[in-house]
């Protein structure tokens, strides 16, 4: 089975490349290309279409995205080209070639106001530019491939891995920088979601493909719930246990209002993954256990 992967240099892309299942021929792409990667600019819809016709993959695994949530507020056109235009181009080309699309998406397509976990079939209502562009990508996949069974949207949340840019690695760096002096970190406590490790997310993506899952929308996060504050404390505690830190910095809980950022974020964006876990036949990993495994891989 041939799979065209985008975003291969990103944190999820690197985990996907480490876990390629037997029998999969992987064509891995990144914006720049090189080092065994094909160059593919997701902002170039024609290039996305050409790549599908050239490689004729059984699946496109669209793991690449414009992921700078705050910067997207000032670059909405570029974010929309990458997050909305590329999935549309892949979907249209795959309709011709007969391949399938796994579109990775986000909890940020929801407004976070319902106070209980979001089910896969619930309506989108994004709060910021990043969420709106990812929602546009979902809508394109549904509009072009809905009914054909060729499109699968897999939403996830708070993605963190041992490489790349993510909250866990930022907190580890800040604990290291401030632990000895006792200078506190301030971290938001009134946004609740669930961290997801790139390792477990990659396994869910590959299972979707190898099992030929046909649910139009899947939800995949690690198990449990947490605030950003909880995750910052857990990173410090686990890093101490693993010998990655000598001193943990104190962590002060902040409200969202006390830590203003350009993009508004959902205050409660837990994903209900129960039906997807059954469909994928994958047991969830508690988020703290997955975070521990992530930190062990950093060590
Ligand atoms: N990170 C999260 O917390 C989170 C949460 C929910 C869902 N997701 C989704 O999960 C997926 C994987 O995200 P991630 O965390 O692995 O993000 P990431 O580490 O930022 O990786 C995204 C990759 O996309 C690439 N990319 C951006 N613009 C491109 C373009 N024009 N052409 C080609 N490649 C381009 C980036 O390359 P450059 O380095 O060259 O920019 C980067 O390698 C995305 O669909 C994201 O929306 C992420």
Contact between residue 131 and residue 118 where contact means Cβ atoms under 8 Å apart: no
> Does pTM surpass 0.95?
yes
**Whether the CB of 156 sits within 6 Å of ligand 1:** yes
- As a whole number of angstroms, the distance between CA 38 and CA 17 comes to 14
Minimal-distance CA residue to ligand 1 atom 43: 10
Which is the catalytic residue, given 66, 130, 229, 268? 130
Measured in angstroms, how far is the CA atom of residue 293 from the centroid of ligand 1?
22
Angle between helices 228-241 and 167-178 (to 10 degrees): 60
Residue located via tokens 């530019």: 129
Residue 264: what pLDDT? 94
Measured in angstroms, how far is the CA atom of residue 180 from the centroid of ligand 1?
34
Neighbouring CB atoms inside 10 A of 15's CB total: 25
**Whether the CB of 193 sits within 6 Å of ligand 1:** no
Contact between residue 65 and residue 85 where contact means Cβ atoms under 8 Å apart: no
DSSP label at residue 247: S
Burial of 7 (0-12, 13-18, 19+ CB in 10 A): buried
**Whether the CB of 268 sits within 6 Å of ligand 1:** no
Residue 147: what pLDDT? 85
pLDDT tens for each residue of the chain, 299 residues long: 999 999 999 999 999 999 999 999 999 999 999 989 999 999 999 999 999 999 999 999 999 999 999 999 999 999 999 999 999 999 999 999 999 999 999 999 999 999 999 999 999 999 999 999 999 999 999 999 998 999 999 999 999 999 999 999 999 999 999 999 999 999 999 999 999 999 999 999 999 999 999 999 999 999 999 999 999 999 999 999 999 999 999 999 999 999 999 999 999 999 999 999 999 999 999 999 999 999 999 96
**Whether the CB of 238 sits within 6 Å of ligand 1:** no
Measured in angstroms, how far is the CA atom of residue 67 from the centroid of ligand 1?
5
Residue 87: what pLDDT? 98
Minimal-distance CA residue to ligand 1 atom 48: 159
Measured in angstroms, how far is the CA atom of residue 179 from the centroid of ligand 1?
30
- As a whole number of angstroms, the distance between CA 192 and CA 173 comes to 22
- As a whole number of angstroms, the distance between CA 181 and CA 208 comes to 47
Residue 79: what pLDDT? 98
SS3 292: helix
Residue 259 appears among annotated catalytic residues: no
């Amino acid at each position: 089975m041939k799979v065209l992967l985008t975003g291969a240099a990103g944190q999820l892309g690197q985990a996907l490349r480490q876990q390629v299942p037997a029998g999969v021929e992987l064509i891995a792409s990144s914006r720049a290309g090189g080092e065994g990667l094909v160059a593919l600019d997701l902002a170039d819809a024609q290039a996305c279409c050409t790549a599908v016709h050239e490689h004729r993959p059984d699946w496109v695994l669209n793991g690449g995205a414009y992921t700078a949530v705050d910067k997207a507020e000032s670059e909405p056109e570029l974010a929309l080209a990458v997050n909305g235009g590329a999935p549309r181009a892949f979907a249209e080309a795959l309709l011709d070639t007969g391949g399938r699309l796994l579109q990775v998406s986000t909890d940020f397509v929801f407004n976070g106001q319902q106070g209980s976990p979001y089910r896969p079939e619930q309506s989108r209502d994004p709060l910021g530019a990043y969420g709106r562009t990812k929602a546009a990508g979902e809508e394109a996949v549904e509009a072009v491939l809905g009914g054909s069974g060729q499109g699968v949207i897999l939403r996830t949340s708070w993605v963190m891995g041992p490489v790349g840019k993510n909250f866990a690695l930022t907190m580890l760096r800040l604990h290291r920088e401030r632990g000895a002096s006792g200078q506190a970190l301030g971290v938001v406590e009134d946004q609740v979601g669930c961290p997801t490790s790139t390792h477990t997310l990659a396994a869910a993506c590959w299972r979707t493909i190898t099992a030929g899952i046909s649910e139009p929308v899947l939800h995949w996060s690690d198990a449990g719930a947490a605030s950003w504050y909880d995750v910052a404390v857990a990173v410090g505690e686990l890093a101490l246990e693993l010998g990655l830190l000598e001193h943990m910095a104190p962590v002060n809980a902040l409200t969202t209002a006390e830590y203003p950022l350009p993009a508004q974020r959902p205050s409660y964006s837990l994903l209900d993954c129960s039906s997807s876990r059954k469909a994928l036949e994958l047991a969830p990993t508690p988020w703290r256990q997955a975070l521990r495994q992530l930190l062990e891989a950093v060590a």
